[in-house]
Amino acid sequence: MIPWTGDSEGDERTGLADECLASFISSDDPVECQALLERLLCYYAAPVIRRVVSHRLRQWGAAADCEDVTGEVQAELIERLLELKGQERESIQKFESYVGICARHACDENFRRRFPQRRRLKTRLRYLLGKDGEFALWERGDGI
């Protein structure tokens, strides 16, 4: 887990990101939507994506994949924001937290693609340990 050094400035920034997202969703002007989308991606999402991706991939020794994963996250985020614009209600409550989760999932998916045998082994072990009453399976406090 990446430690969050929250302060009043960070809280204010998060509030501004959420306001920008709300403005993006409610705006009907294509020029304004483009500007708001660019602001959401460049100013609010990019620092979060870079921080999460660089931390997670360096942790796994895959720092060379940072740019690729960052691009994947940004493309997926654009797609999701445009889908969200078509909905009548807002579904993202905390934009920067949402971006962090998307970045983390993209890192996990990158890891699964790079090491498919590990995933297969992990799944089989989890099945065996969960199915057979002679074994026990525990999770750590952080969900792993």
Q: What is the pLDDT of residue 75?
A: 94
Specify whether the CB–CB gap between 140 and 89 falls below 8 A: no
Q: What is the pLDDT of residue 25?
A: 86
Cα→Cα distances 114→1, 33, 130, Å? 21, 36, 26
Classify each residue of 80-117 as buried b or exposed e, where b means 16 or more C-beta atoms within 10 Å of its C-beta.
ebeeeeeeeeeebeebbebbbebbbebbeebbeeeeee
Q: What is the pLDDT of residue 122?
A: 82
pTM for this one?
0.72
Question: Mean pLDDT in each 10-residue stretch from start to end of the chain (144 residues)?
Answer: 41 77 88 93 93 85 80 93 76 89 91 83 83 74 59
Q: What is the pLDDT of residue 42?
A: 92
Q: What's the chain's length in residues?
A: 144
Q: What is the pLDDT of residue 12?
A: 61
